[in-house]
Structure 1
Amino acid sequence: MTNKITRLYNIQYPVIQGGMVWTSGWKLASAVSNTGGLGLIGAGSMYPDLLREHIQKCKKATDKPFGVNVPLIYPHVNEIMKVILEEDVKIVFTSAGNPSTWTSKLKENGIKVTHVVSSVKFALKAQSAGVDAIVAEGFEAGGHNGREETTTFVLIPMVKEKITIPLIAAGGIATGKAMLAAMILGADGVQMGSRFVASEEASSHIKFKQKVVEAGEGDTKLTLKELTPVRLLKNPFFNEIQELTGKPHTVEDLQNLLGKGRARSGMMEGNLETGELEIGQISGLITDIKPVSQIINEIITEFTIAKQSLPGI
């Protein structure tokens, strides 16, 4: 399977694994890359020294391309970027910030840059900043999300119409059929996060993985929009947020409730009661925890069969 995305990243399949906090370590990234996709190390939950360790271990675990996802709101972003440059990482995905801040510097060092957006407006800004590709992420996605609440299959054709660089669809995609649908609408590839949370190689806690596969329709909701919008599995902590936002409150009240370490507590340490459990709506369709190789092979097989059943596509 060869197209703009496989050529851009020198990968076999146009499947990118989301660089999720507390989930996307070197084991997951290398497994995805070894199976033909593009694995991403999630720097958002790592201090610079830990990121360096994960990059070095990933290099030992795979000879295939991999990248690092960097939320630009990260407090140590300068040190993170220094590690990326020193370790000669060739692919960087940026998110949650202004792509103009780092794109030129990264590209001067031979790094391919992709930026994650949730609207046409920010897609155009990212293209103007000189990024090599764009991830357009719809409202269905887990973790940090857009305030516009535009769904993936509305967002993709809208962005496709306005940009000229490669486009990757994200949000609510975990199957080969969904991958085909996104590409019919104009995407050149897909990024999947939640499906890889429920993989054996993900660094997330087994209790969180099990909670993901047990989730059903309506078990996630976008919240904390006054701070940074995030889609969470419903649990006692989520209920506390709903109770607070249902009455007069300030942003400071929300910040105090959130505190520190909620995502680590929930997703990596398995605290299902008071931890923050970030996951996408597609969790309602994920029913098992599998090795990455099996996940990707099933996705590509389903994609191929579905495509063959649609003449002319």
Structure 2
Amino acid sequence: MQNRITTLFGVEYPIVQAGMIWASGWRLTSAVSNAGGLGLIGAGSMYPEVLRDHIRKCQQATDRPFGVNVPMLYPDINEIMNVIVEMGVKIVFTSAGNPKTWTSFLQENGITVVHVVSSVKFALKAQEAGVDAIVAEGFEAGGHNGRDETTTMVLIPAVKEKIEIPLIAAGGIGTGRAMLAAMVLGADGVQVGSRFVASHEASSHELFKQKVIEASEGDTQLTLKELAPVRLIKNKFYHDVQNAYANGASIQQLKELLGRARAKKGMFEGDLEEGELEIGQVSALIHDIKPAAQIVEDLIHEFTLAKEGIPKF
């Protein structure tokens, strides 16, 4: 399955594992890369030396391409970028910031740069900044999201219409059928997050993984748009946020309620009541915890069957 994305990254399949905080350490990343996709280490939950250790272990676990996802809003971003260059990482996905800030620096060091966006406007800005490819992420996605609430089915063709560089679709993609749909809409590849959370190699807590596979339609909601929009499983913390809204909470009060390390508490430590449980709407279609390699195999198998089964009109 060769196209612009497999050629750009040097991988077998146009499948990217999302760089999810607290879920995508070196074990998941190397497992996805070994299976023929592109694994990403999620640097957003890592101090620079922790990231260095994960990169080193990933390099020992796979000889195939892998990358690092870097949310640019973190305070130690300079150190993070220097670690990436020093360790010889060849692919970086940036998000949550201006792509102009780091694209040239990374490319000058021989690194392929992909930027994550949630709108046509920001896709055009990323292309103008010189990135090598774009991830367009729809409103269905888990974790931090765009404010416009544009769905993947609308966002992908809208972005495709305006850009020339390779396009990766994200948000609501957890099956081979969804992968095919995204590529029919104009994507060159897909980024998959939630499905890989429910994998044996994901570094997230087993209680969180179990909560994901128990989720049903309507169990997630985008909230906290005044701070940074985030899609969560509805739990005690989520309902505390809704009660705060109902009582007219200010932005400062919402910040105080959020506090620190909510995501770590929920997804990494397994506190299902007080933690942030970030996952996408597609969790309603995830019913089991599997090895990452099996997930990649299933995606390709389902994609092939769906492609062969398209009715002839």
Shift of 1:78: 0.7
Could you tell me how far apart the structure 2 residues matched to 1:312 and 1:227 are? 48
- Residue 68 of structure 1 corresponds to 68
Shift of 1:309: 2.2
Shift of 1:310: 2.7
Report the AA paired with residue 85 of structure 2.
Answer: L
- Residue 187 of structure 1 corresponds to 187
- Residue 145 of structure 1 corresponds to 145
Could you tell me how far apart the structure 1 residues matched to 2:123 and 2:311 are? 32
- Residue 121 of structure 2 corresponds to 121
Could you tell me how far apart the structure 2 residues matched to 1:66 and 1:6 are? 12
Report the AA paired with residue 96 of structure 1.
Answer: A
1:178-235, CA deviations, whole angstroms, 9 ceiling, x for partnerless residues?
Answer: 0000000000000000000000000000000000000001000000100000000000
- Residue 204 of structure 1 corresponds to 204
SS of 1:162's equivalent in the other structure is: coil
Could you tell me how far apart the structure 2 residues matched to 1:70 and 1:290 are? 26
4+ aligned runs moved over 2 Å, structure 1: 309-313
Gaps of 5+ in 2: none
Report the AA paired with residue 242 of structure 1.
Answer: Q
1:44-72, CA deviations, whole angstroms, 9 ceiling, x for partnerless residues?
Answer: 00000000000000000000000000001
Counterparts in 2 of 1:311 and 1:5: CA distance versus 1, 3 Å: farther
Could you tell me how far apart the structure 2 residues matched to 1:48 and 1:187 are? 33
Could you tell me how far apart the structure 2 residues matched to 1:281 and 1:307 are? 24
Shift of 1:142: 0.3
- Residue 160 of structure 1 corresponds to 160
Could you tell me how far apart the structure 1 residues matched to 2:168 and 2:110 are? 21
Could you tell me how far apart the structure 2 residues matched to 1:163 and 1:20 are? 26
1:61-95, CA deviations, whole angstroms, 9 ceiling, x for partnerless residues?
Answer: 00000000000101111110010011010000000
- Residue 272 of structure 1 corresponds to 272
- Normalized against structure 1, the TM-score is what? 0.99
Report the AA paired with residue 183 of structure 1.
Answer: M
Report the AA paired with residue 28 of structure 2.
Answer: L
Shift of 1:247: 2.3
Shift of 1:312: 8.1
Report the AA paired with residue 244 of structure 2.
Answer: L
Counterparts in 2 of 1:219 and 1:6: CA distance versus 1, 3 Å: same
Alignment map for 1:221-300 (pairs within 5 Å):
221-300=221-300
Gaps of 5+ in 1: none
Shift of 1:101: 0.2
Could you tell me how far apart the structure 2 residues matched to 1:250 and 1:75 are? 25
The total of aligned residue pairs comes to: 313
- Residue 6 of structure 2 corresponds to 6
